[in-house]
Amino acid sequence: MKDAVFDDFIDRLRSESDIVSVVSDYVALKKKGKNYWGCCPFHNEKTPSFSVTPDKGFFYCFGCQTGGNVFNFLMKVENITFFEAVKLLAKKLNIPLPEKDKTPLELAREQELAKLYQVNELAVDFFHACLTKTKFGKPAREYLASRGISAEHISFFKLGFAPPLWDKLSLAFSKRGIDLDILLKSGLCAARTSGEGVYDRFRNRIMFPIRDVRGRAIGFGGRVLDNSQPKYLNSPETQLFNKRHVLYGFDKAYKHIRESGQVIIVEGYMDALTLYSHGIKNVVASLGTAFTPEQARNLIKLNAELLFSYDTDAAGQNATVRALATVRSMGAAIKVVSMPDGKDPDEFVRKHDSSAFQELIASAQPLLNYQLDQALKSDDYTTVQGKIAVVGKLAPILAEAENAVEVNAHITRLSQVLTVDESALRTEITKYIVQSKKDKNVKNGKTINIALLYKQPAPAVVQAERQLIRMMCEDLSLIPYVFSQISPQEIQGVLQQEIINLIFNAYNMEKNITQTDLNTIVNNLSEKANNEFSHIMLMEIQLQDVVKSVDDCIKTIRLAHLTTLYEQHRLMADELERMGDSSFLQELAESQRIKHEISKLHH
């Protein structure tokens, strides 16, 4: 189907669907006022905080801040893609999908993908049979039993064993009519360097099937039974398998992550397997590699708290730091599980028990606390040199943190621990921002955001931004006026800025913006901005004079923006003057100009 046809079909589904009816298939709803309320399906709660507004077609949970339209709801509750949600909603409404003429290339690719999924499932059965029913698998069965993995969990995870032969799998599959080309593309076999034919990639290894979130086998991880190298071997990159995007055990842990609101992230297959077999089921593994942004996004979508439980050796600690750095800027709630003994979670749980590990989870440190403690442990801060080293490590961490209250609390704590004046610590943090970001910000035409290190948008400003968005969405004729009065850069809330930016972009592209255009905008928002938009559309607001309310919101937003700019330039002028840089005069002049603008707005 062409894009225009597909867009029209989406609009038809949206207009003909009743979000209350769709949500009611999953949540018991009761009407209160104009909206419907129930217990959120995305986190555990006893008091209903999940709201659905039928006239606007949005849902929002005031507990876990999850929201969106009918498509977003189906995607989240069924854990499916947007297109799958479209197909599901069409089926519920008994509306046939538009047909798409597929090219021969597209048909060939679909057929090849189907064959790859099929051969992977056949390999799962082949390896599992080798483990459970043949003499080849006896050493592996004994090894797994020694690690506390029962026959029940071997069956549940479909663990297997690759026999210690070069062509056992390839010969068996060739006899079943599977093309060598498919075996090669699946990564199960590799081409011989000399002569024709293939050989089995996995030999004499315990096999861990790797599945996507829908439970389809897409690759394998293999572990040796002796000390040969490599200890672990993953499938190569294929059309189905990209280890940057995959988390081992995600398909099994998904519903437990939803229920608990937490996900425990470990390094290896055995860590995940052992924890799961001991009743800790909201666990995934990052395939023994550094945690990636793609893996983080899969978990952030679930609005779950991320608890990292990597090995306690040096390599594990370094992996933890890298993983934390990966997700820090993505807005995830992060904690670190530290084990007092034992090299990894697998050993700890087997040495103690699951209740002991649950206690570690309960005492897990927030990200910033963990990073500060690691820095304090790394140097002897009783000496001047040690204090300097610790502050040098902590300044970047505190400078990049987003929560101003948390930063200030840690500055106070560090001042006491290091016996260093608070103002000295703040000066070092400011110096780091100036030195590390000045060139980059000047190049991009931006000022250095010093003031925001300690200040977040005031509640009144956030409310004004939300109300302005709501009024524009209620009355689309307001968009041109607001567009002429304010720029997205003046919006302090990150999510509100994203929403207004998209509204303005849509207006730029099509001056006569319609409700359909607005619905399309929502589908282009990020996960968090989509949640925020749903929250805004569910807000209870009463307006006597819309025009005056719009002007009041714009004034509040502009004053906050100018005040922030003033603080930035003033602090920059102070810092540059302290460093002996004559350009402080330019910063000072700019701060005075902004102050004059603020004065004019007040009067």
DSSP-assigned letters across all residues of 340-406: SSSSSHHHHHHHS-HHHHHHHHHTPEEHHHHHHHHHHHHS-TTSHHHHHHHHHHHHHHHHH---HHH
The Cα 105–Cα 122 span in angstroms is 26
459-602: what CATH class? mainly alpha
Q: How many helices (H) and strands (E) does the chain have?
A: 26, 16
| Fold observed for domain 250-363 | Dna Topoisomerase Vi A Subunit; Chain: A, domain 2 (3.40.1360)
The whole-number pLDDT of residue 316 equals 60
Task: Identify the CA nearest to 350 among candidates 142, 149, 139, 206.
Answer: 149
pLDDT in tens, 497-535: 999 998 988 888 776 777 777 777 777 888 888 889 999
For the chain, the average pLDDT equals 86
The CATH number that domain 107-234 falls under is: 3.90.980.10
pLDDT, average across residues 7-13:
85
- pLDDT top residue among 343 and 492: 492
Lowest mean pLDDT of 24-33, 232-241, 523-532, 549-558, name the range.
523-532
- Confidence grade of residue 444 (pLDDT, cut at 50, 70, 90): very low
Identify the CA nearest to 584 among candidates 593, 575, 594, 597: 575
259-277 mean pLDDT: 92
For 108-124, write each residue's pLDDT tens digit. Answer: 998 999 999 999 999 99
Measure the CA–CA gap between 68 and 53, rounded to whole angstroms.
11
pLDDT tier at 240 (50, 70, 90 boundaries)? Answer: very high
Q: Between 427 and 90, whose confidence is greater?
A: 90
Virtual torsion, Cα 286, 289, 291, 293, nearest 10 deg: -100
Beta carbons of 284 and 260 less than 8 angstroms apart: no
CB 234 within 8 A of CB 228: no
pLDDT for the residue 163? 96
Match 């991320």 to its residue by tokens. 306
Residue 238 has pLDDT above 60, yes or no: yes
Confidence check: pLDDT of 242 > 70: yes
Q: Is the pLDDT of residue 311 over 80?
A: no
Q: Kindly give the pairing relationship between strand 262-266 and strand 283-285.
A: parallel
Tell me the pLDDT band of 216, cut-offs 50, 70 and 90.
very high
- Per-residue pLDDT, averaged over 241-249, amounts to 93
**Dihedral of the alpha carbons of 316, 317, 323, 325, in degrees to the nearest 10:** -160
**How confident is the model over 67-77, as pLDDT tens digits?**
999 999 998 88
Residues above pLDDT 90, as percent of the chain: 42
The pLDDT score that the predictor gives to residue 318 is 66
Q: Which two tokens stand for residue 598?
A: 């603020």
- Report the distance separating Cα 262 and Cα 306, nearest Å: 6
List beta partners, residue 262. 305
Checking if the pLDDT of 451 tops 70, the result is no
pLDDT at 438 over 60: no
The class that CATH gives domain 3-93 is alpha beta
Confidence bin at 6 (pLDDT 50/70/90): confident
Do the domains spanning 3-93 and 250-363 agree at the CATH topology level? Answer: no
pLDDT at 440 over 70: no
Q: How confident is the model at residue 342 (pLDDT cuts 50, 70, 90)?
A: low
pLDDT at 399 over 70: yes
pLDDT band at 450 (very low <50, low <70, confident <90, very high): very low
Domain ranges in the chain?
3-93, 107-234, 250-363, 371-435, 459-602
7 pLDDT more than 90: no
447: pLDDT strictly greater than 60: no
Residue 123's pLDDT is 97
- Mean pLDDT of the 302-325 span: 75
Q: What is the pLDDT of residues 131-175, one digit of tens each?
A: 999 999 999 999 999 999 999 999 999 999 999 999 999 999 999
Decide: residue 128, CB within 10 A, 0-12 exposed, 13-18 middle, 19+ buried.
buried
pLDDT at 91 over 70: yes
Residue 86 confidence (pLDDT) above 80 = yes
pLDDT in the model for residue 449: 44
Axis crossing angle, helix 367-378 with helix 404-418, rounded to the nearest 10: 20
